[in-house]
Amino acid sequence: MPTVDRIEKLRVVIYPNDHRPAHVHVIGKGCEAVFKLYCAEGRVDILENYRFPAGELTKIKTIIAKRLARLCAAWSEIHGEY
């Protein structure tokens, strides 16, 4: 599973055998969340959350939104068009 970015001690992962739509998994501290990347629209949604506190989840979403272009490029490199 390629780590395509890091947010502090958290890994941002895109699985090579994963499904569309474009999304990333954020993993660390015994937690995981999945964020859908709306690459064309320039926004991010939380799809799933496993044990991240609400405040931290909001912070992660904000950071992912700022890095959206880079994460969409990584998705395209691994999976082709999003």
Q: Per residue in 46-71, pLDDT tens?
A: 999 999 999 999 999 999 999 999 99
Give the C-alpha separation, 28 to 22, whole Å. 20
Q: At what angle do helices 68-79 and 54-66 cross, to 10 degrees?
A: 80
pTM of the complete model: 0.95
Its domain, for residue 74, covers: 3-79
Q: What is the mean pLDDT of residues 21-40?
A: 97
Mean pLDDT over each residue of the chain, to the nearest integer: 96
Residue 81: the pLDDT is: 80
How many independent structural domains does the chain possess? Answer: 1
Q: What is the mean pLDDT of residues 29-54?
A: 97
Residue 1: the pLDDT is: 61
